[in-house]
Chains A and B, each alone.
Chain A
Amino acid sequence: MAHAYTPGLRVTDHAVIRRERRLPLKGDVLVAVGQPVEADTVVARTELPGNVQTVNLAAKLSLDPARVPDALTLPVGSAVRRGDLIAAGKSLFGLVHQRATSPADGTLESVSPVTGQLILREPPLPVEVDAYVRGVVAEVLPGEGVVVEASGALMQGIFGVGGETFGTLRLVAASPDEPLATAALTPAHQGCVVVGGSYVSHATLMRARELGVAAVVVGGFDDHDLRHLLGRDLGVAITGAEDLGFTLILTEGFGRIRMAERTWRLLAAHQGQQASVSGATQIRAGVMRPEIVIPRPPGAGREAAAAGAAGVEVGSLLRVIREPHFGRIARVIELPAELQALETEARVRVMAVEFAEDGTRAVVPRANVELIED
């Protein structure tokens, strides 16, 4: 039954983190296997083909399309500057001379005798990929990029917005159930990854942006404020490309939710160290969660033996992930095999749990919990 549960998010102090850093197109790899890299080391570089523009030469020169290829003044493949003469022709019994100039810098890519269109490609755009995490180059993907390997702490969030960034980790809230207060943010947090507790408001985020905070990590956030932040309702959970000026990672979900103790403790233990974070989230086949990576200095410990994917059993620690007990931490006390009717009258598999904070008990559907690593 283990696979029937929402897999718990990874929150561990000992992980080997391998991240593929790949160019969108073939290009040059700038580092070698075994080479140490910083988060901002450029590891590969390429040039994206420029935009394509079409020029209707048949119309510009008043020529039959079949005659357009012969009217070119430069061969296909030539580089041109904006304003350069690219074609000339005579029409109306040779009385009218028509000229066409290039609308942009670029290369003459092709010309069609059927449509009389010229395709002009603008100059290429340089693209660089950085290492994202401090580590070593573990593998070179020739012409494409590298795999960077680091060992250290890895925490996955449940949802994020904004792209990759990095900075010094700073705990700003006093406890995991305290919201991140605007007043707690200071100019000293510029370029830092700031950790709050249960919640952040839109106003506090705006202050963080003003101060140049690199990323904010908190338990929860209101969707109402997310809409405000993005300027639109987020329909489909594919994020990471937002240009917000910072990255936001929610570790628990939407609303005010105490940050999981384990996540909080781990972040606290690494206060002052460099963290790489990515808000990219994709919730569909091939799920992708946001992450916080805190690389350890080389040689400072190795990954503990990977624990097998354990199923839920009596005694397992978990979090309820749907109302009416949303966000509460509990231990399993019973796993009845028979289906049971909920208040909705749906008959489903359930479990009895005891809540950690007050020892009260409840029955919840097995679909509505996620395991927390002890």
Chain B
Amino acid sequence: MEAPFEDVTRGVLNAVREVEELAGRRILDGERIITPQTGDQGVDLYVSTSSAGGGLQMMVSGLVLQMTGESAQRAALGAGAIVMDVIALNDGRRPHEKIRRLRQLRPDMILLSGGTDGGDVRRVAEMAEIILAADPKARLGAGYRLPVIYAGNQAAAEVVTGTLGDRTALSVVANLRPSLEQENLGPARDAIHELFMEHVMAHAPGYKKLMTWSPVPIMPTPGAVGIIIEAIARRDRMSVVGVDIGGATTDVFSVFQGVFNRTVSANLGMSYSVSNVMAEAGIENILRWVPFAVDEIDLRNRVKNKMIRPTTIPQSLEDLVIEQAIAREALRLAFEQHKALAVGLKGIQSQRTISDIMSQTETGATRVDLLDLGLLVGSGGVLSHAPRRVQAALMMVDGFLPEGLTQLAVDSIFMAPQLGVLSTVHEPAATQVFERDCLVRLGTVLSPLGAGKAGQPCLSVEVLADQTPIQRRIPFGELALIPLPEQGRVRVIARPERGFDLGPGKGKPLEAQVNGGVVGLIVDTRGRRPFVLPTEPAERIRRLRAWNAALGLYAKEV
């Protein structure tokens, strides 16, 4: 939103006019959307999402960083916010440092949690006093009071209201951690959405008008993506991971064991943040995916030049390969951050049996189970616009290292957010459009767990397509591609050698119906737990080239 387009409804009207032209249907009456539809005019429903102003930026606070602090973070991220900082009593900072931080960051909203119901009131009051002393100013508009949501110990609600009620726009909702064993993020998430509409968006030019056009609340864009991912996971009864890799940020969404989680890696991306990917991953981790020698000084300069001129695109094949290597590392780092936050509740007293002790499981283990992952969906320019779809598939495989049998898809036009809002009104319509017009099915990847020596027998695969069944034996240390029909499903039987596991157990066969796709069935016997690339440069380059050739990754060898 920059001058002269400071009013968001200008952009919406322009977009609607284009739809009118493309669809040959009158939708606008002057500057009003015609709804409901009558005959060949108008639409049934107009829905909207918003990422204006850099999205919703929040600070969250809890008493204990690893417990209520983490629950509060999950609630804010799940609602589609960027979490700028988590402040907790035990975060190692002194009160005045916390106060200074609150002032500097100027969040759009604060979520204050802390304590289980009936627990200690004093420590919650202390957090509220810190917020009061900071007297943080909202980012947009000086004249409005900062929205604060209190979702902590209900016994402290009165004290918090007494401290913050006059100075902030405070709403009190149910505790997001009523007991150590229980997390209840729904009310806090709903309150975030509501305050986002009421306070934050209402101060952005044109939003008041836009809000009257839609009977459904305007949602933060990433929050809406989460809703459609949850709907798909529910419909297909499978675990789903979605990733949206942008220029500045990378969002990861997951549903495992029916629990939705979202994380935003605020400084991992392909243009504005590309240099930070290099800083965080380390240059050697980027170069491990590049099948030719690169001068480090030259690579560093290239990456910085992309950062300062973020809209450029790779022209040479070498440049494309380097960009896709960086994307692999951005995906890997974003997924690592996701795994660290998408965890079970910490701090629970659980009864442990001898076998629990033997398996060393702890509370707070990640919910992300790659063997259980059924569908991996990617979106964002580097994946959606990769010149060959197989490049997108391999970037996701290398970044996420899926295990067992996993379907791969890309969201080519990034319609998921709008479908997320639509699904709150009409879920079957939304999931149907998602499946038919939004998802491009790439195929399936089959990756056995286990390690071995290159060339040792690992896996035999049988694909029972229409007429001619295909049988392949794939030794350890390879990538292979078996074409599948683009539409429909085929039966696949995979028999791992002893010592390799596809999910049912070591050496046990896996039989499944898998979706076809434009890429096909990728068989990845490069090993998992651990996945290791050769460290010796000449050997690494030789292997990368062989894998690229096996999948037909590029038009020529690079």
Chain B residues in 8 Å Cβ range of A253: 301, 304-305, 308-309
Chain A residues in 8 Å Cβ range of B18: none
Q: Tell me if A321 counts as interface (CB < 8 A to partner B).
A: yes
Q: Tell me if B307 counts as interface (CB < 8 A to partner A).
A: yes
Contact of B313 among A112, A158, A367 (CB under 8 A): A367
Cross-chain contact A255 with B313 (CB below 8 angstroms): no
Cross-chain contact B313 with A322 (CB below 8 angstroms): yes
Whether A323 touches B302, Cβ cut-off 8 Å, given contacts A109-B133, A119-B133, A348-B313, is yes
- B149-167 contacts to A (CB < 8 Å): 159
Whether A222 touches B312, Cβ cut-off 8 Å, given contacts A119-B129, A323-B319, A346-B387, is no
Contact of A254 among B272, B304, B310 (CB under 8 A): B304
Chain B residues in 8 Å Cβ range of A370: 309
Q: How far is the CB of B112 from chain A (nearest CB, A)?
A: 15
Cross-chain contact A52 with B555 (CB below 8 angstroms): no
What 1/0 flags go to B415-450 for Cβ under 8 Å of A?
A: 000000000000000000000000000000000000
Chain B residues in 8 Å Cβ range of A235: 267, 273, 275-276, 279-280
Q: Tell me if B23 counts as interface (CB < 8 A to partner A).
A: no
Stretch at the interface among B93-101, B455-463, B512-520: B93-101
Q: Tell me if B317 counts as interface (CB < 8 A to partner A).
A: yes
By beta carbon, the residue of chain B nearest A54 is B95
Cross-chain contact A115 with B317 (CB below 8 angstroms): no
Chain A residues in 8 Å Cβ range of B2: 286
Cross-chain contact B387 with A345 (CB below 8 angstroms): yes
Stretch at the interface among B119-127, B355-363, B500-508, B537-545: B119-127
Cross-chain contact B301 with A236 (CB below 8 angstroms): no
Q: Tell me if A114 counts as interface (CB < 8 A to partner B).
A: yes
Q: Tell me if A223 counts as interface (CB < 8 A to partner B).
A: yes
Q: How far is the CB of A343 from chain B (nearest CB, A)?
A: 5
By beta carbon, the residue of chain A nearest B269 is A236
Q: Tell me if A276 counts as interface (CB < 8 A to partner B).
A: no
By beta carbon, the residue of chain A nearest B387 is A345
Chain A residues in 8 Å Cβ range of B305: 253-255, 321-322, 326
What 1/0 flags go to B274-301 for Cβ under 8 Å of A?
A: 0110111000000000000000111011
Contact of B317 among A54, A226, A283, A344 (CB under 8 A): A344
Chain A residues in 8 Å Cβ range of B279: 232-235
By beta carbon, the residue of chain B nearest A370 is B309
Q: Tell me if A365 counts as interface (CB < 8 A to partner B).
A: yes
By beta carbon, the residue of chain B nearest A55 is B95
Chain B residues in 8 Å Cβ range of A114: 121-122, 125, 159
Chain A residues in 8 Å Cβ range of B315: 322-324, 342-344, 364-365, 368
Cross-chain contact B95 with A237 (CB below 8 angstroms): no
Cross-chain contact A222 with B126 (CB below 8 angstroms): no
Q: How far is the CB of B422 from chain A (nearest CB, A)?
A: 27
Q: Tell me if A246 counts as interface (CB < 8 A to partner B).
A: no
What 1/0 flags go to A108-131 for Cβ under 8 Å of B?
A: 011010110101000000000000
By beta carbon, the residue of chain A nearest B162 is A114
Chain A residues in 8 Å Cβ range of B313: 322, 346, 348, 365, 367-368
* C-alpha spacing A177/B276, complex, angstroms: 30
Chain A residues in 8 Å Cβ range of B237: none
* C-alpha spacing A324/B320, complex, angstroms: 12
Chain B residues in 8 Å Cβ range of A232: 279
Chain A residues in 8 Å Cβ range of B278: 233
Q: Tell me if A98 counts as interface (CB < 8 A to partner B).
A: no
Q: Tell me if A90 counts as interface (CB < 8 A to partner B).
A: no
Chain B residues in 8 Å Cβ range of A227: 300
* C-alpha spacing A224/B283, complex, angstroms: 11
By beta carbon, the residue of chain B nearest A237 is B307
* C-alpha spacing A110/B296, complex, angstroms: 56
Chain B residues in 8 Å Cβ range of A51: 96, 100
Cross-chain contact A224 with B307 (CB below 8 angstroms): no
* C-alpha spacing A237/B303, complex, angstroms: 12
Cross-chain contact A159 with B267 (CB below 8 angstroms): no
Chain A residues in 8 Å Cβ range of B297: 222-224
Cross-chain contact A234 with B133 (CB below 8 angstroms): no
Contact of A222 among B300, B308, B316 (CB under 8 A): B300
Interface centre among B2, B298, B300, B303 (most CB of A within 10 A): B300
Chain A residues in 8 Å Cβ range of B10: none
Q: Tell me if A95 counts as interface (CB < 8 A to partner B).
A: no
Cross-chain contact A344 with B133 (CB below 8 angstroms): no
Q: How far is the CB of A332 from chain B (nearest CB, A)?
A: 16
Chain B residues in 8 Å Cβ range of A367: 311-313
Interface centre among A110, A285, A324 (most CB of B within 10 A): A285
Cross-chain contact A345 with B388 (CB below 8 angstroms): yes
Q: How far is the CB of B56 from chain A (nearest CB, A)?
A: 14
Q: Tell me if A6 counts as interface (CB < 8 A to partner B).
A: yes
Q: Tell me if A182 counts as interface (CB < 8 A to partner B).
A: no
Q: Tell me if A41 counts as interface (CB < 8 A to partner B).
A: no
- B124-141 contacts to A (CB < 8 Å): 125-126, 129, 133
Q: How far is the CB of B472 from chain A (nearest CB, A)?
A: 27
Q: Could you tell me which B residues sit within 8 Å of A by CB distance?
A: 2, 54, 95-96, 99-100, 121-123, 125-126, 129, 133, 159, 248, 267, 272-273, 275-276, 278-280, 296-298, 300-320, 385, 387-388, 555
A-B pairs with lowest CB-CB distance, top 9 = A235-B276, A233-B279, A223-B300, A345-B387, A254-B301, A114-B125, A344-B320, A254-B304, A322-B312
Could you write out 24 A-B pairs with CB less than 8 Å apart? Answer: A115-B129, A158-B308, A223-B300, A223-B303, A233-B275, A233-B278, A235-B276, A237-B307, A253-B304, A253-B308, A254-B304, A255-B298, A255-B301, A281-B308, A283-B307, A284-B272, A322-B312, A322-B313, A323-B316, A344-B314, A344-B315, A345-B388, A365-B312, A367-B313
Q: Could you tell me which A residues sit within 8 Å of B by CB distance?
A: 6, 51-54, 65, 109-110, 112, 114-115, 117, 119, 158-159, 222-224, 226-227, 232-237, 253-255, 281, 283-286, 321-324, 326, 342-346, 348, 364-365, 367-368, 370
